[in-house]
């Protein structure tokens, strides 16, 4: 859903990509950096004991992870460093990052475990449905209402809101549980329509 906005954001990251390239950072390094931010975000969620500062810090770390997720692609494309393995590694680290954040929120007692697991499963299936469809030659970018950018934004804003009212994060998780699985249905319907035409 935010794919068009993502394109504009990537245009704004040209300078940051130039700086990263200038100091010798590779796209894979930035992918690992983003993954590291996500792990620290997850640990902060898990151990923050619902403290306002911890929730804001966890949100900031999650934002930083999302920033790196956008920057690595810009760097790879602008400096001819796009590789099949780089794309694979980025996708793999994104899945681990997503899982760690959801697990951190669940372990930290910030959401109902049931809804946390449903949101986690939905997030994984959103990514899997895209990978499976694109392996069949069907483009899936911008199909669905809860791609990774949307999920990061919802979680980050919910975490900030939870600094003032703790249940806000649980509401964010419930919303993600619904939206991610709805996205899977949307993508399934999209694939069905295209295949039916063929």
| pLDDT tens-digit readout, 93-124 | 999 999 999 999 999 999 999 999 999 999 99
Structure tokens at 59: 């949100």
Half-sphere exposure of 16 (CA within 13 A, CB side): 15
Query: From CA 124, how far away is CA 148, in angstroms rounded?
Result: 10
Give burial (CB, 10 Å; 0-12/13-18/19+) of 177.
buried
How far apart, in whole angstroms, are the C-alpha atoms of residue 180 and residue 98? 13
Q: Which residue shows structure tokens 């499976």?
A: 132
Structure confidence at residue 1 as a pLDDT band (50, 70, 90): low
Give the residue extent of every domain in the chain: 3-197
Task: Give pLDDT tens digits for 124-163.
Answer: 999 999 889 888 888 877 788 888 888 999 999 999 999 9
Q: How many whole angstroms separate alpha carbon 28 and alpha carbon 75?
A: 10
C-alpha span between 77 and 79 (Å, rounded) = 6
Confidence at residue 58, expressed as pLDDT on a 0 to 100 scale: 96
Can 94 be counted among the known catalytic residues? yes
Catalytic residue (one of 69, 72, 94, 98): 94
Give the model's pLDDT for residue 6: 63
Q: Which fold has domain 3-197?
A: 1.20.120
Stretch 75-86: mean pLDDT, rounded?
88
Hunting for tokens 């959103």 — which residue is that? 126
By CB neighbour count within 10 A (0-12 exposed, 13-18 middle, 19+ buried), where does 86 fall? Answer: middle
């Amino acid at each position: 859903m935010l794919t068009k906005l993502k394109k504009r954001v990537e245009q704004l990251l040209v300078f940051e990509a130039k700086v990263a390239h200038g100091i010798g950072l590779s796209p894979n390094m930035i992918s690992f950096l983003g993954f590291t931010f996500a792990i620290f975000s997850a640990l902060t969620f898990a151990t923050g004991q619902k403290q306002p500062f911890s929730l804001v810090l966890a949100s900031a770390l999650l934002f930083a992870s999302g920033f790196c997720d956008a920057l690595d692609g810009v760097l790879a494309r602008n400096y001819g460093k796009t590789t099949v393995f780089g794309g694979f590694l980025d996708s793999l680290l994104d899945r681990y990052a997503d899982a760690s954040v959801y697990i951190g929120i669940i372990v930290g007692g910030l959401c109902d475990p049931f809804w946390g697991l449903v949101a986690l499963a939905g997030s994984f299936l959103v990514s899997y449905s895209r990978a499976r469809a694109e392996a069949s030659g069907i483009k899936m970018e911008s199909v669905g209402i809860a791609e990774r950018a949307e999920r990061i934004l919802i979680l980050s804003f919910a975490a900030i809101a939870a600094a003032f009212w703790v249940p806000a994060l649980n509401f964010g998780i419930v919303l993600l549980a619904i939206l991610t699985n709805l996205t899977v249905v949307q993508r399934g319907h999209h694939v069905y329509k295209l295949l039916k035409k063929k």
